[in-house]
Amino acid sequence: MSKAAESTVSKKSLRDNPLIWPLAGLALVIAFNLVTGPEFFSVSVRDGHLYGNLVDIFSQGARVMLLALGMTLVIATGGVDLSVGAVMAIGGALAATFVTQMGYGLYVALPITLIIVGTLGFFNGAMVVFGKIQPIIATLILMVAGRGVALLITDSDVVKIQDPAFLYLGKGYILGIPFSLWLVAVIFLVMAVSIRKTALGLLIEAVGDNEHASRFSGIEAGRLKLIVYAVCGALAGLAGVLDAASVSAADPMRVGELKELDAIFAVVIGGTALTGGRFLLFGSILGAILLQALTLTLYNAGVSAAVAPVPKAIVIVGVCLLQSERFRKQITNITKFGGKAS
Amino acid sequence: MKVSLRANPLYATIGVLASLFAVASFSYEGFFSLRVVANLFTDSSFLGVTALGMTVVILSKGIDLSVGSVIGFTTILVAYLVQDAGVPVPVAWGIALVIGVIFGAGMGALIVFYDLPSFLVTLGGLFFAKGMGFVISSSSIGIQNGFYDAVLDFQLQVGPGAYLGAGALAFIVFFVFCVCLLKWSRFGRYVYAVGGNEDSARLMGLPVDQVKIGVYAFNGFCSALAGILTTLYMGSGNPLTGVGMELDAIAAVVIGGTLLTGGIGGATGTLLGVLTFAVIQTILNFDGRFKPAFLRIAIAALLLGFILTQRALARGKE
Amino acid sequence: MLFPAESTIRIKSIMSNDSTPLLKVRGLSKQFGSVQALSDVSFELRAGEIHSLLGENGAGKSTTIKCITGVHRPETGTVELNGQLIAPRSPREAELIGIGTVYQEVNLLPNLTVLENIVLGRVKTNAFGKIDWKDARNRAKSALSKLEMDIDLDATLSTLPVAMQQLVALARALEVDSKVLILDEPTASLDEAEVENLFRVMNLLRDKGIGIVFITHFLDQVFRMSDRMTVLRNGRYIATRDAKELSKQDLLQDMLGKAFEEMQSRAGELDAIAADRAGRKVQLEVRGLGAPGMIDSVDLELREGEVVGLAGLLGSGRTECARLIFGVDKATTGTVDLKDKRVKQGVPSESIRDGIMLASEDRKAEGIFPNLTVRENIVIALQSRRGPMNPVPREEQDALAKKYIAAMRIKTSGPEAKISELSGGNQQKVLLARWLAAEPKVLILDEPTRGIDIGARAEIEKLIESLSEDGLSMIMISSEMDEEVRCCHRVLVLRDRKVIGELQGSAITESAIVRKIADHE
């Protein structure tokens, strides 16, 4: 008896652990690749750098990870930021223009860029906080305008980048591991520590869980939201800079296209509920990795990049269904019924 | 009170549209003409149809992000069916419309039965339709077809040098249909009811679930119809068409005075919103000093203005 | 009583006494999860009577209604309408067979017209699917004429006052020829004149032979309007009585059961305590606090360890007063001072930092964080008082959670359980723990016992007493007047958004409060 009770308890806590979903997804992708082509996992060292699919997953996933980190916080407050793709384009365009056309060093250009995109994020937050506009709509405005702004910055051109320091952001290696990954790791750690070692995390979760009650508990929700949207904007801009660095060019039209969707995907699949409240930064990182692994696996399986959104869509809706109370109930009912019948 | 609440945003839209048109008429020679007005309708036919569908969705307090992708999918599907598979044009159109309806209804069912946020489900729909378009063909397919030529040749003269093409006419007819649907049909009034307060509507015994699924099915139909109009306009199908169209449609609806919180607004406003969009685009075409990038910025600025005004109005009411 | 001696004019009801019951409810039972919400509830409604359904929060009134109208399906029991078994599956089905319901919060569509709100869902259409507005208009008009009301059919509903909206809801129910009308707390948000008008309409409908089930918290209204009343307690049927035969005392006895007697015996002790508190230092001083539409200029002095009640009917400005002192709404006039510190107005976070806290009446919307743990729900106010950069250490959090779970006997599987898994009473205790953990100087309790069972209620009352002994100053609001009588050392009586009187010590009795409210014309 007690043993049975114990096992249901552990089962429950396992199912309740939100990290289980991205991990299960990753396990599936890995299993699929083990069966179809184990060479997927081969990692080689060339010129002291690591090469291979696994490395690609991480290095190409770096940008989505950045977006997802910012998006996680925004979603945790009960919002969403649809403008991150457009802000990426602005970030890339700004940094590239500063360095290439205005001749600033990267050490000047990068901070200025981040301040500007952070301000754009702050503007999103201000619309939500002071304008009391639904986040989807508030950030929609920048989503619409952003690409136009990026085009204006670069004069509708693709800006080619030659500055070696700039390119190092996207192509450099430290200890054989891409620089962008180091950068993401550092940012993740800084965020995790500053959120969990202060009370910011708890307060953000409280705001997302019940904003009205948070006011009665003396939490300054507006201030938290402004910070969170600004951080999200800054991280999106940085992702845009990394993107430009990795392809040696800032393309205001294409960069960050539909990336807001990837970011939301990574967050949701990482176990943070879209309704806000509890959030998991690490889950979002896992979600981003899963997304990239899925894309690369499909690519290796001969599915063209253009068709890749189809399975992505199926996974997104599937994950949402799994998080849906009613769907879970239906499944339990079906399994119960099956159990009874047998 | 009643008048101010319902019509105020509409007055604002009319004001913006009229002043834009007036300023442009004084600034650019040849702008103030029936020809330009007729072209406004022709150029915005597919955006207009999409925006009308979006109006219904937003009135029900939902949102549909998939429309752009469904348009792209429909164009390539129709082009493939007509050009590569040799299916008669009306049949191809019928297939496209049916697929649009089924696709929309499917998303609606997920939203209704599993209580999922509409923006997330339709986001999935966006990905899905986008990918499926590329499954059919990854490159543009031109349409050479007698029926198409005949439809394209059809032009209704409405004044000296001013013609309404088939697309524009379809848009106008569809607009009238939507006005009637929203004002006089049960479905239309139920849409307002659901957008006004879903729980109340349920307690009043209205078929809320069916209405919501119907809304997305209807919008699926609109997207497919817009896709068909796009093939008429461009004479080809391309899975890349329609990218970002959902934003334009939402913008047009909001500029037309329909509240994003659901339940208030209508098709007439959306028509004005779409025309505002088209006027700005035409101004950019007339004036070489403006870069195309300005279109988006101008639309965003208008969007911002209208959303803030709506907020202020709503707050004044409280 | 507010409106005494009026209940004698009852001719119609005597006439209908012998008729077979219009609605017969027998043996309803309903379970939600492990909670038995209803067990074996029965009552009969006659044609042409107003039948009150009474009971404390959680007694099972609304569950009973929802079982009748098809929102819930009872596990056992039957409902008969005119001798025929019915089992509607939705409110719409119930409506179609003649059972109309009007809820407290008007469940209509604010964005549509009066006409549409009356007929939508039942309109006829022509062959093209066009709604026959002319027919709809006629039907709406005739429904409104049954109420002897003239409302502009083309007005948007949101532009009408709540009372009018309620009448529109009534018209909607009448439009289908309802034989049974269920009015669920219809008077909660109405002013006196509006209540009068509603009562006029109710009498009118009763005289037309409609059976009305009336649910309200206002006992005066119960005595004034009802022919008979059925009392429920803890999901069980207690008694059905004729309104004329019943005293208010008996009714309270029915509603509260044994708890009522316990409460009675404690009433006398308070005089000495009240005198003691009145001699202490002033903790909070409110001068001329007011805001348009909320409350006019309130003055209030609160001493250390004193419990001051705000009494008055719903809408008298009690809750508004509390919200202004706490600063969750912004006052336009007046000041709030703590000992020697002026409190910044309209900023709840500042109030909390200064030590003024409000336990809101709306536990669900303004209280709990449903997905956070019991521990987190307890420490959150302390945390925001200390600021985000100064986190409450985990050991301290655990200690606080442990302390309050034990001290307040909170029933939970542990400090790490989600608060939403707890019962209403235990959630309320967690919320009180939240405020106590944040070390308030002044604690405002708005309906601290709403919706919780009688046992937990007694515990909370005891807690208030011991906190007062420890020197905490409290302001208390409760629609259960007897509760204020037991807990408060002083009571300010409010009416029409003004303070109209004050009672102290043993002078605080229900009848004294009611007299103050009624006499102030």
Q: Is the pLDDT of residue C3 over 50?
A: no
B-facing residues of C in 149-178 (CB < 8 A) are 154-156, 158-159, 172
The region of weakest confidence among B222-236, C146-160, C394-408 is C146-160
Instruction: For residue A219, give how far its alpha carbon lies from the nearest alpha carbon of chain C (Å).
Output: 6
> What are C333's two structure tokens?
């006039």
B-facing residues of C in 436-475 (CB < 8 A) are none
Three-class DSSP category at C516: helix
Cβ within 8 Å of residue C132, ≥6 positions away: C123, C124, C125, C126
- By Cβ distance, the residue of C92, C93, C107 closest to B200 is C107
What would the mean pLDDT of C109-136 be, rounded to a whole number? 86
Q: What is the pLDDT of residues C494-510, one digit of tens each?
A: 877 888 888 888 777 77
Q: What is the pLDDT of residues C97-121, one digit of tens each?
A: 888 888 766 678 888 999 999 888 8
Interchain CB distance below 8 Å, B192 and C158: no
Instruction: For residue B260, give how far its alpha carbon lies from the nearest alpha carbon of chain A (Å).
Output: 8
Name residue C457's beta-bridge partners: none
Q: Which chain A residues contact residue C351 at CB under 8 A?
A: 218
Q: What is the structure's pLDDT at A15? A: 52
Strands (DSSP E) along C155-306, which ranges? 180-184, 211-215, 228-233, 236-242, 282-291, 295-303
Q: Which amino acid is present at A170? A: G
C-beta neighbour count of A226 within 10 angstroms? 20
Interchain CB distance below 8 Å, B311 and A131: yes
- By Cβ distance, the residue of C103, C112, C172 closest to B193 is C112
Q: Which chain B residues contact residue C120 at CB under 8 A?
A: 189-190, 193, 204, 206
Instruction: For residue A340, give how far its alpha carbon lies from the nearest alpha carbon of chain C (Å).
Output: 21
Instruction: For residue A131, give how far its alpha carbon lies from the nearest alpha carbon of chain C (Å).
Output: 18
Between chain A and chain B, the number of residue pairs with CB atoms below 8 A apart is 121
Instruction: For residue C435, give how far its alpha carbon lies from the nearest alpha carbon of chain A (Å).
Output: 9
Q: Which chain B residues contact residue A327 at CB under 8 A?
A: 114
Q: Which chain B residues contact residue A325 at CB under 8 A?
A: 115
Q: Which chain C residues contact residue A204 at CB under 8 A?
A: none
Q: What is the pLDDT of residues A8-49, one digit of tens each?
A: 334 445 456 667 777 887 888 888 877 777 777 777 777 766
Between chain A and chain C, the number of residue pairs with CB atoms below 8 A apart is 78
Interchain CB distance below 8 Å, A313 and B260: no
- The model's confidence at residue A338, banded by pLDDT at 50, 70 and 90, is low
- The model's confidence at residue C58, banded by pLDDT at 50, 70 and 90, is low
Instruction: For residue C236, give how far its alpha carbon lies from the nearest alpha carbon of chain B (Å).
Output: 26
Q: What is the structure's pLDDT at B36? A: 86
Q: How far is residue B30's CA from residue C500's CA, in Å, rounded to a whole number?
A: 74
Instruction: For residue A272, give how far its alpha carbon lies from the nearest alpha carbon of chain B (Å).
Output: 14
Buried b (16+ CB within 10 A) or exposed e, C105-124: ebbbbbbbbbbbbbbbbbbe
Domain C1-98+211-256 has CATH 3.40.50.300: yes
**In chain B, domain spans:** 2-317
Whether chain B has a CB inside 8 Å of the CB on C19: the answer is: no
Interchain CB distance below 8 Å, B131 and A313: yes
Cβ within 8 Å of residue C498, ≥6 positions away: C295, C296, C317
Longest pairwise C-alpha distance within chain A: 75
Q: Which chain C residues contact residue A209 at CB under 8 A?
A: 369-372
Strands (DSSP E) along chain B, which ranges? 141-142, 155-159, 162-165, 236-237
Name residue B162's beta-bridge partners: B159
Interchain CB distance below 8 Å, B126 and A268: no
Residue in B80, B63, B59, B57 with CA at minimum distance from that of residue B227: B80
Q: Which CATH superfamily is domain C262-355+440-521 in?
A: P-loop containing nucleotide triphosphate hydrolases (3.40.50.300)
**In chain C, domain spans:** 1-98+211-256, 262-355+440-521, 364-439
Whether chain C has a CB inside 8 Å of the CB on B180: the answer is: yes
Contact (Cβ atoms closer than 8 angstroms) between residue A90 and residue A120: yes
Cβ within 8 Å of residue C492, ≥6 positions away: C300, C308, C309, C310, C311, C499, C501, C502
Q: What is the structure's pLDDT at A1? A: 37
DSSP calls for C395-447: HHHHHHHHHHHHHTT---S-TTSBGGGS-HHHHHHHHHHHHHHT--SEEEEES
Helix (H) or strand (E) holding C9: none
> What are C341's two structure tokens?
């510190």
- By Cβ distance, the residue of A137, A138, A156 closest to B293 is A156
Q: How far is residue C119's CA from residue C108's CA, in Å, rounded to a whole number?
A: 11
What would the mean pLDDT of B232-258 be, rounded to a whole number? 87
Average pLDDT of chain A to the nearest whole number: 83
Q: Which chain C residues contact residue A197 at CB under 8 A?
A: 391
The region of weakest confidence among A57-71, A89-103, A156-170, C68-82 is A156-170
Q: How far is residue C473's CA from residue C481's CA, in Å, rounded to a whole number?
A: 20
Between C55 and B110, name the one with better pLDDT. B110
Q: Which chain A residues contact residue B260 at CB under 8 A?
A: 134, 137
Tell which CATH architecture fits domain B2-317: Orthogonal Bundle (1.10)
| Site from B189, B194, B211 to mutate, C interface, most C CB atoms within 10 angstroms | B189
Cβ within 8 Å of residue A190, ≥6 positions away: none
- The model's confidence at residue B5, banded by pLDDT at 50, 70 and 90, is very low
Q: What is the structure's pLDDT at C379? A: 93
CB half-sphere exposure, B190, CA atoms < 13 A: 21
B257: left (phi over 0), alpha (psi -120 to 50) or beta: left
Q: What is the pLDDT of residues B6-29, one digit of tens each?
A: 446 678 888 888 888 888 888 888
Q: Is the pLDDT of residue C241 over 90?
A: no
Between A291 and C293, name the one with better pLDDT. A291
- The model's confidence at residue C292, banded by pLDDT at 50, 70 and 90, is confident
The region of weakest confidence among B229-233, C187-191, C206-210 is C187-191
Q: How far is residue A122's CA from residue A258's CA, in Å, rounded to a whole number?
A: 21
Q: How far is residue C422's CA from residue C434's CA, in Å, rounded to a whole number?
A: 15
> What are A297's two structure tokens?
């696996």
Q: What is the structure's pLDDT at B110? A: 93
Q: What structural domains and CATH numbers belong to chain A?
A: 53-322 (1.10.3470)
Instruction: For residue C328, give how far its alpha carbon lies from the nearest alpha carbon of chain A (Å).
Output: 7
What would the mean pLDDT of C412-440 be, rounded to a whole number? 87
Helix (H) or strand (E) holding C474: strand C473-477
The region of weakest confidence among A140-149, B5-14, B247-256, C199-208 is B5-14
Whether chain A has a CB inside 8 Å of the CB on B121: the answer is: yes
Cβ within 8 Å of residue C9, ≥6 positions away: none
Q: What is the pLDDT of residues B271-296, one digit of tens each?
A: 999 999 899 888 888 877 777 778 88
